[in-house]
Amino acid sequence: MTSRRPMTVSPLWLQGSILTFLFGFAILTYSAIRIYQDSAPIPERIVDESGSVLATGQQIRDGQEQFLTYGLMQFGTIYGHGAYLGPDFTADYLHRMAVHMNRRYGDDEAARARTRRELQANHYDPTTGTLVWTAGQVSAFEEIHQHFGELVYDRKVSGEGLKPAMITDPEDTRAITAFIAWTAWTAVARRPGRVYSYTNNWPPEELVGNTLTGDAIMWSALSLVTLLGGSGLVLGMYGRHSRVVGWHEAEERRVRFVPPASVALTSAQRVTAWFFLVAAALFLLQNLVGGATVHYMVEAGGFFGIDLPKLLPYNLTRTWHLQMAIFFVATAYLAAGIFLAPLIAGHEPRGQALLSTLLLGALAVVVFGSLGGEYLSYHGLLPRGGRSFFGAQGWEYLDLGRFWMYLLVVGMVLWLAIIYRGLRSRLAVESRGNLPWLFLYSALSIPAFYAVGLLTHTRTPFAIGDFWRFWVVHLWVEDFLELFTTMLVALIFVLMGIVSERFATRLIYLDVLLYSIGGVVGTLHHCYFSGGPAVEMALGAFFSAAEVIPLTLLTVEAWSFLQLGSRQQVGGAGAATFPHRWSVLFLASVGFWNFLGAGVFGFLINLPVVSYYEIGTLLTSNHGHAAFMGVYGMLALALLVFCTRYLARPEDWSEGLVRFSFWATNVGLMLMILGHLFPLGVLQLGDVVTNGYWHARTEWFRNYPWLSWARMPGDVVFMFGSAPLVWLTLKVALRTRQTPAPADQTGTALEATLYTEITPAQATARV
């Protein structure tokens, strides 16, 4: 029986990580039970006061499905979730209904009081499944249905970023309006036994009496206390024990790096050159589509005079923009995992190259198949029954059809099998708490938590569907990809000899502990106002504050992290210089954007008192761009540059191109944020408070076209930063460096294949 190497750190790290992980998911499981029990009900029928049926539960569910599969969540929002060019359909319907009823009842104070009273009254009977609407609500439905027809369903010409005659089936349009009307009812009808609505009184709407709840104010205050107290505690502990968990061990190690051209490559590693080419191409295309998407903010009817909405309407370009961002990052992560596995294990089993090639082909099928399916779905070119399966499901970030989701999960499982095969011999001799196993665990979380998205489909009650959707958006993206990020950074530094395996393992466990406490339960901050119980706001607000604490800690470490590469360069003739300057700088930018985008901009919008007015404004997009591109996008570029440095022939490598890409992407992203997203988001938030949420979502941006044009310099600089990477990876893919495969050198410690350690005497002699 093969003996295992003991844990390189105390077993208490592993035990503590498991306990906090179980604690976080126990709370999240409790929340899942509550949301199934207490989410806003869908009535079996909506009737007027005489008993005539206005809409059925079947119509409402059909309407949600059509709303999603025609891409309307990528045009406007429901409950504040979705895209930013169109209205928030819930808030817009609610405001128009209140205005209509006030006008119908006399448009005086008595009329306004009657309107508030009728709308807040909950006439839903759970025993019969019947909801009764007043005459004012019924007549408002017909008027608003006509308005949505002119805005969305049957436009005569392109406008608002949409193509004409988008949805012509009257059965579909009636069902969509019924779904939107139901969301507006949940936003104002008081929850049984409570003084607030199913959505915790969201949206803010003076005409119907929707104001901040006491829970929102109380839990916002407690969140701030948690943030300040937790940050002080963690930073105090860090000050006392920084050498235990920090990057400072590098001060005591000196290494000579093996020139990249001298490192032997396996056949599967050479296949990853094509993965990185695909990632770079997707990155460039994503930028180009993003430019077209934001242009609709200043020219809603076209693109510099071209009737682009007829072919590529806003809802389609925004869907592609989001999907290609996910695909670009995922492709780079998959390739990095395949590339690093033989470096960890010391050898590569037979068949890895074939499996990697199959994975690349499967990835191409999913990417092009899903993008094409979304095009057909949004243009109404698929039969109704096939739109959600082969076309688009339409949930933001989970837009791709269910068939493509299944294939993507299968592809991720294939990738996991490749990683496991590559590490298997190494895992057999390692404690299950050591770095190779942690790498496998983090890889396992990638398909596992993306697959949770399969619990959401187009007919799932919205609050429940949104809950599971944010398991993907938050847990998969913001937590487990964050963990995978830390894992890859630490692992690369171990492989290069910059830090020891023991120190890297401690850092990963610390990351798990901190994110398990705040990040897991913090998922609920997305669900404050979408029809779930108020306990979600309490838990989400309280634990979201803890998410900022590890980001603060990482920021404190950013400077020493940035200096690691330069500290390893030993002077003197013949000394090898640090070959990964730009990889490390991309990694350092990850730390910067992590704190600014995920930490500062994320916490800015997570407090319930802020989110109540802010959700669905450009401050959300500001956070999304800074956090997703700044963290996961920059890490993807760091991985691309690091691995490509070994794959490239010396004559094909260009430090100049990589340097230009680094500065252009980081400066371009900062210009996008400071020149457009943040200032426009602040102005929009002010408009919400001054004129109402409905107004800020339908009229605000027309008053500031110059700020939308101010986005162009940042976009252009960013696009120019992505183009050189396509050229570089194309050269590498076509002319990948050919070397013999490394010999089988499986041992009991991570192999120093990328460096040799220099003794103090050697270092002194070279100075």
Question: Looking at the structure, do residues 247 and 321 belong to the same domain, yes or no?
Answer: yes
Question: Looking at the structure, do residues 673 and 544 belong to the same domain, yes or no?
Answer: yes
Instruction: Please check the confidence at residue 137 and state whether its pLDDT lies above 90.
Output: yes
What pLDDT, on a 0 to 100 scale, did the predictor assign at position 767? 29
The DSSP secondary structure of 703-719, one letter per residue, reads G-HHHHHTHHHHHHHHH
Residue 290 placed within a domain: yes
What pLDDT, on a 0 to 100 scale, did the predictor assign at position 259? 84
For residues 375 and 382, give the distance between their C-alpha atoms in angstroms, rounded to a whole number. Answer: 10
Q: By three-state DSSP, how is residue 430 classified? A: strand
Instruction: Please check the confidence at residue 415 and state whether its pLDDT lies above 90.
Output: yes
Question: Looking at the structure, do residues 270 and 199 belong to the same domain, yes or no?
Answer: no
For residues 458 and 702, give the distance between their C-alpha atoms in angstroms, rounded to a whole number. Answer: 32
Contacts for 370 with CB less than 8 Å, ≥ 6 apart: 323, 399, 400, 401, 404, 408
Tens of pLDDT, residue by residue over 201-240, are 999 999 999 999 998 898 888 888 777 776 677 667 666 6
Structural domain that includes position 381: 217-761
For residues 163 and 274, give the distance between their C-alpha atoms in angstroms, rounded to a whole number. Answer: 37
Looking at 211, 234, 268, the residue that finishes a domain is 211
Question: Looking at the structure, do residues 234 and 167 belong to the same domain, yes or no?
Answer: no
Instruction: Please check the confidence at residue 750 and state whether its pLDDT lies above 70.
Output: no
Contacts for 198 with CB less than 8 Å, ≥ 6 apart: 39, 40, 186, 187, 189, 191, 531
Residue 36 placed within a domain: no
Question: Looking at the structure, do residues 207 and 290 belong to the same domain, yes or no?
Answer: no
Question: Looking at the structure, do residues 113 and 160 belong to the same domain, yes or no?
Answer: yes
Q: Which of 38-42, 563-567, 609-613, 717-721 has the lowest mean pLDDT?
A: 563-567
Instruction: Please check the confidence at residue 89 and state whether its pLDDT lies above 90.
Output: yes
Instruction: Please check the confidence at residue 560 and state whether its pLDDT lies above 70.
Output: no
- CB 508 within 8 Å of CB 14: no
Question: Looking at the structure, do residues 656 and 530 belong to the same domain, yes or no?
Answer: yes
Looking at 187, 211, 235, the residue that finishes a domain is 211
207 compared with 506, residue with greater pLDDT: 207
Residue 13 placed within a domain: no
**What is the value of pTM for the model shown?**
0.92
Question: Looking at the structure, do residues 97 and 227 belong to the same domain, yes or no?
Answer: no
What mean pLDDT do residues 538-561 have?
63
Give the range with max mean pLDDT: 4-13, 261-270, 358-367.
358-367
- Residue 129 gets the label, from left (phi > 0), alpha (psi -120 to 50) or beta, of left
For residue 43, say if its preceding peptide bond is cis, omega within 30 degrees of 0.
no
| pLDDT band of 159, cuts 50, 70, 90 | confident
Q: What angle do helix axes 402-427 and 435-451 make, rounded to 10 degrees?
A: 170
Instruction: Please check the confidence at residue 413 and state whether its pLDDT lies above 90.
Output: yes
Instruction: Please check the confidence at residue 648 and state whether its pLDDT lies above 80.
Output: yes
- CB 382 within 8 Å of CB 376: yes
In the predicted model, what is the mean pLDDT of the chain? 86
- CB 357 within 8 Å of CB 272: no
Instruction: Please check the confidence at residue 257 and state whether its pLDDT lies above 90.
Output: no
Looking at 161, 178, 211, the residue that finishes a domain is 211
| pLDDT band of 394, cuts 50, 70, 90 | very high
Instruction: Please check the confidence at residue 349 and state whether its pLDDT lies above 60.
Output: yes
Q: Which of 15-29, 49-63, 590-604, 736-750 has the lowest mean pLDDT?
A: 736-750
For residues 4 and 487, give the distance between their C-alpha atoms in angstroms, rounded to a whole number. Answer: 22
Q: Where are the alpha helices (DSSP H) in 581-710?
A: 581-593, 601-606, 608-614, 618-624, 634-647, 655-672, 678-691, 693-698, 705-709
Instruction: Please calculate the CA angle 150-154-160 and round it to the nearest 5 degrees.
Output: 60
Question: Looking at the structure, do residues 171 and 280 belong to the same domain, yes or no?
Answer: no
For residue 151, what is the domain's CATH number? 1.10.760
Residue 39 placed within a domain: no
For residues 346 and 751, give the distance between their C-alpha atoms in angstroms, rounded to a whole number. Answer: 7
Instruction: Please check the confidence at residue 46 and state whether its pLDDT lies above 70.
Output: yes
For residue 434, what is the domain's CATH number? 1.20.210.10
Residue 739 placed within a domain: yes
What mean pLDDT do residues 278-292 have?
95
Question: Looking at the structure, do residues 514 and 632 belong to the same domain, yes or no?
Answer: yes
Residue 591 placed within a domain: yes
Q: Which of 141-155, 200-214, 561-575, 740-754 has the lowest mean pLDDT?
A: 561-575
Number of structural domains (the chain) is 2
Instruction: Please check the confidence at residue 564 and state whether its pLDDT lies above 60.
Output: no
Q: How far is CA 248 from CA 242, 329, 435, 507, 744, in A?
A: 8, 30, 19, 12, 33
Instruction: Please check the confidence at residue 758 and state whether its pLDDT lies above 60.
Output: no
556 compared with 459, residue with greater pLDDT: 459
Q: By three-state DSSP, how is residue 35 classified? A: helix
CA atoms in the 13 A half-sphere facing the CB of 499? 25
What pLDDT, on a 0 to 100 scale, did the predictor assign at position 763? 38
Question: Looking at the structure, do residues 290 and 172 belong to the same domain, yes or no?
Answer: no
Residue 144 placed within a domain: yes
CA 206 to chain centre: 33
Contacts for 302 with CB less than 8 Å, ≥ 6 apart: 158, 308, 309
Instruction: Please check the confidence at residue 572 and state whether its pLDDT lies above 60.
Output: no
Question: Looking at the structure, do residues 207 and 240 belong to the same domain, yes or no?
Answer: no
| pLDDT band of 376, cuts 50, 70, 90 | very high
Tens of pLDDT, residue by residue over 462-494, are 999 999 999 988 888 767 777 787 788 778 878
Residue 333 placed within a domain: yes
Instruction: Please check the confidence at residue 569 and state whether its pLDDT lies above 90.
Output: no
- CB 540 within 8 Å of CB 602: no
